[in-house]
Amino acid sequence: MNKKNLHIYYSSFNTKNGAAASLIDLANSASEVTCVYFFITKLPSSIKQILTNRNKRIKIIYTTNFKPIQRIIFKFFDVHKTEVLCIDAIKNYDFLKEVGYKNIVNYFAADLRALIQSKIYSDSDIKLLIKELLKFKFLLVQSKSTSKDLANYNIKSKTLLPTCDEFWLQNYQKNKTFNPIKTIVISIIGSIQERKNQLDAIEFGYQLSKQTSFKVTLKIVGKPLDNNYYKLCQEKSHKLSNLNYKIDFTGHLDDYRNIYNTTDIILQTSLSEGFSRILREAMYLKIPICAYVLPSNKEHICEHRSINAPVGDLNSLIINLTESLNNNEIADIVNNATIYYNNNLSTNIYKKNLTENLLN
């Protein structure tokens, strides 16, 4: 097979961000790629050194916004010979087409059906999103169910199951055996907004402290994106906090993964989400998952690989966790998740799937 020429566009760079990390995976794993270009606005020098040292094909180009790249592209790149341009957002498609790129792929980490079902976005916003997604040669998605749903709207897609055990995550120690004695520490990680549904997480921790003998600490990790929603979360936290239930708003953490060292359970109560990087990292690091089932994560976290319940069914989620604790099932659940990760989501599997799905 001839070597491919892959360009990657990502507007703001942070390796702790799931989309950015996924694009790095593309760069590091694509053995059939001749050269990978990151078009970015910001990159820490330490990350630049890591990227370029690990893969000599990676080139980094800085720009304050995407328009000035037009001159650079025509000067240095023959875009007509570029097999694939992979980007993380839809807003630059028209410009990229003008420049001369033909095969433009979008890394679509969201889940269309979950976006629609959440009712957070208006019908007009959803219609506009679908219209934009139809432009791409195909979307690169994280689950088969997402791909199937997109096909209902005539949107072409290919499934590339994501990974997470990149070089920076391998430095984190895998979690010890689940064995809380008096207190269970639960962490929910993500920006504070209605879609992430931290209000359910706050109620979850409170009910768990009432229905079990454990004291519960809930760590809410992330910065507020919606101040009104953040205020609601704070008000509910003040109302429910007591001697047996502590809630800690950590705010933004430059490296949220440090929270894993003191976490017994990863909680995710999102109303809409792709197959979250947080869940993949929990699988890899052997931390039990307690989550709502979404179209995008169903194939990954069901089959006794997590404690779960249908989206919005908070009562069932609490009951299922309580029963798993009482029946000492947590170790088996974690073991099942680890086996699934190793067989389906590891970096080696990812590299194989990447060659078959993106570059063919």
- What are the structural domain ranges in the chain? 4-163+347-357, 169-344
* 249: alpha, beta or left? (left if phi > 0; alpha if psi -120 to 50): beta
One-letter amino acid at 259 equals I
Q: Which two tokens stand for residue 295?
A: 């179209």
Average pLDDT over residues 320-326: 95
Distance of CA 206 to the CA centre of its chain: 26
DSSP state of 243: T
pTM exceeding the 0.85 threshold for the entire prediction: no
| Adjacent-strand bridge partners of 289 | 266
pLDDT in the model for residue 1: 36
Other beta carbons less than 10 A from residue 81's beta carbon? 9
- Contact between residue 336 and residue 324 where contact means Cβ atoms under 8 Å apart: no
| CATH no. of 169-344 | 3.40.50.2000
- Residue showing tokens 């997480």: 201
- 4-163+347-357 and 169-344 share one fold: yes
The predicted-structure confidence for 55-87, as pLDDT tens digits, reads as follows 555 555 545 455 555 555 545 556 666 667 777
Q: Which two tokens stand for residue 250?
A: 């950590």
Contacts of 6 (CB under 8 A, 6+ apart): 26, 27, 30, 33, 34, 35, 36, 82, 83, 84, 85, 86, 359
Contacts of 289 (CB under 8 A, 6+ apart): 265, 266, 268, 279, 282, 283, 301, 305, 306, 307, 308, 333, 337
Task: Compute the distance between CA of residue 62 and CA of residue 87 in angstroms, rounded to an integer.
Answer: 15
Residue 105 clears pLDDT 90, i.e. is over it = no
| Phi and psi angles of residue 57, each rounded to the nearest 5 degrees, phi first | -80, -15
Q: Which CATH number fits domain 4-163+347-357: 3.40.50.2000, 3.90.79.10, 3.40.50.1820, 3.30.750.24?
A: 3.40.50.2000
| Winning range, highest mean pLDDT, from 66-75, 142-151, 161-170, 349-358 | 142-151
In the chain, % of residues over pLDDT 90 = 48
Average pLDDT over residues 102-110: 82
| Winning range, highest mean pLDDT, from 12-16, 144-148, 303-307 | 303-307
Give the residue from 245, 241, 289, 247 showing the smallest Cα distance to 267.
289
| Phi and psi angles of residue 84, each rounded to the nearest 5 degrees, phi first | -140, 135
